[in-house]
Amino acid sequence: MDKPLKYKGGIQEIFQRAESSTFFGREIGLMYIHEHIRYAESQAVLGKAEEFVKALRQAIPVNYKDIVPNSNLRQANCYYSSSDVTFKTRYEADEKYADVLSGKMRVDGGWRVYSSGPGIYVSLVIKKLIGFRAFNDYVVIDPVLTNEMDGFSASFKFKRHHLNWNFKVKYGNFTPKSIIVNGLNIPFDTEDNPYRKGGALIPMKVFLDNLKPGENQFIVEI
């Protein structure tokens, strides 16, 4: 995984696309976004907030040069399939790949607008960054936020209820210490997570009973 498979053409021995495709980009290039956001998801599961948020930022073109300095300009309202280095041939890519890792080569956005990735990305923002996951019998509240995101807020609708979220990052980057809904503390258990302490586990009935018509205010302290 330190570099792409060497291009050689002919009969494939390891992986057909990587070995024989003359085009250097997408899956066999620098960064395939679909896989990258799955990497971001794994960092959230591990509780690595800095890595998680950085990976999320690398997947969208907003202020992209702040996070990827060797990037060329990108259309800010598009979701790209990949970051592609502008190599002329696969042979050049084999020869100069070290220049990619050192930041000497410029990178361009791949296909746009990409189809499946944006939905997965939005799901990560809701389920991992905000940390709200709903199941039949319970909900999980498990935000993963950096220290700089103290005061982060978000809002969305759930079962016709409008949920406004405000997060206080005080003790760590994951696992709620307290959850206040409309001024009342909600008791919760902790979700199992083999890699770190998990999120808050709340029975669905308890969660819904604490909601009211219209606006609902959540304060989550981690």
Structural domain boundaries in the chain: 16-117, 130-221
User: Angle, to 10 degrees, between the axis of helix 49-58 and the axis of helix 33-46?
Assistant: 160
Q: Which strands make up the sheet holding 189-190, listed edge to edge?
A: 132-134, 138-141, 200-203, 189-190
56 exposed, middle or buried (CB, 10 Å; 0-12, 13-18, 19+)?
Answer: buried
Query: Does 139 score more than 90 pLDDT?
Result: yes
Pair of tokens at residue 207: 């969660």
What proportion of the chain, given as a percentage, has pLDDT over 70? 96
- Report CA dihedral (38, 44, 47, 53) to the nearest 10 degrees: 100
Residue 53's SS3 state is helix
How distant is the alpha carbon of residue 122 from its chain centre?
Answer: 8
Pair of tokens at residue 89: 């041939």
**Mean pLDDT over the full length of the chain:** 90
β-strand 200-203 against 189-190: which pairing, if any? antiparallel
Q: Which of 16-25, 72-81, 115-124, 158-167 has the lowest mean pLDDT?
A: 16-25
Pair of tokens at residue 146: 């950096």
Tell me what pLDDT residue 27 has.
64
Tell me what pLDDT residue 77 has.
83
Q: Characterise 160 by phi-psi region: left (phi > 0), alpha (psi -120 to 50), beta (else).
A: left
Q: Which of 81-85, 140-144, 200-204, 214-218 has the lowest mean pLDDT?
A: 81-85
Contacts of residue 111, Cβ cutoff 8 Å, sequence gap at least 6: 26, 80, 81, 82
Query: Does 72 score more than 80 pLDDT?
Result: yes
Tell me what pLDDT residue 1 has.
61
β-strand 138-141 against 189-190: which pairing, if any? unpaired
Which whole number is the average pLDDT over 17-24?
A: 75
- CATH 3.40.640.10, domain 130-221, yes or no: no
* Unique residue bearing structure tokens 């390891």: 14
Q: Which residue has the higher pLDDT, 85 or 215?
A: 215
Residue 147's SS3 state is helix
Q: Which residue has the higher pLDDT, 40 or 24?
A: 40
Query: Does 25 score more than 80 pLDDT?
Result: no
Query: Does 88 score more than 90 pLDDT?
Result: no
Q: Which residue has the higher pLDDT, 115 or 150?
A: 150
Tell me what pLDDT residue 152 has.
97
Tell me what pLDDT residue 124 has.
95
